[in-house]
Amino acid sequence: MSENNNNPAALVTGGATRLGLAFAMSLAQRGYDIAIHYHSSKDSAERVAKDIESLGVFCQVFQADLSCDQPGDLVKQVTDHFPRLELLINSASAYEAASIANTSLELLQQQFSVNFFAPFILTKAFAKKCKNGAVINILDNKIEFQQNDYAAYLLSKKTLAEFTRLAAIEYAPNIRINGIAPGVVLPGEERTEDYVSWRIENIPLQQQGSVEDLLRAMNFLIDSEFVTGQIITVDGGENINHQGNHAEMFNKSHS
């Protein structure tokens, strides 16, 4: 496969595993050449690259630790390979549970480095290098909640949501910047079936989301030239289910 074809290219951070991998494969099926960023999943990144090339597009892997490396360098490396870079998917993420009282400065910096500083710097570098294009930041439906047990993670994603709106203004009209906030789609391996069922109890649409639900949101944002600064929450309505306590609930539970 030649790098000198006329395909547009997409950079997917965290593209070697799980949701990032699904975004990358789907974009390859749409005809994008793919730059897979990975941190530690080298073997998986190389396997994914082979699978992507079997779809008839070009794929290259790029390693970077987004908690300490210069994310701007990643964009330069990618555009050296793919001058037609047109899409950036910020999917890489660090996820550590800790209340405010248990959050050290080191943990705060680590969560913010991967989940906010890196997408910030990548977006800035992308907008400087690419004349036209789109950025999609992968958020979390938890940005609508106050879950202090995930203080640093949550604050980093809430900040990224605000950045999505701010950057959409600064980089319009040439670069559109949007976000997707998933709910329960692909829980970590440590999550049990009981945990997922318990989460679904509080989801109005009474189901777990699928990877395809997220891919539909991604494709909508790519295709919608009149949409910027928006966050699509794909969570079965979990984020709107904030009823709070009220008198009727009190009466029922105390009768």
Query: Among residues 67, 77, 159, 230, which is the contact residue for ligand NAP, using CB under 6 A?
Result: 67
Where does this chain touch ligand NAP (CB under 6 A) — which range of 74-82, 91-99, 121-129, 192-200? 91-99
Shortest gap between Cβ of 91 and ligand NAP (angstroms)? 5
Binding of residue 73 to ligand NAP (CB under 6 A)? no
Binding of residue 40 to ligand NAP (CB under 6 A)? yes
Instruction: Tell me how many residues contact ligand NAP (CB under 6 A).
Output: 26
Please give the Cα distance from 76 to 126 (Å, whole number): 9
Query: Among residues 28, 49, 119, 140, which is the contact residue for ligand NAP, using CB under 6 A?
Result: 140
Nearer to ligand NAP, 7 or 13 (CB): 13
Q: Which residues of the chain form contacts with ligand NAP (CB under 6 A)?
A: 14, 16-20, 38-41, 65-67, 91-95, 114, 138, 140, 182, 184-187
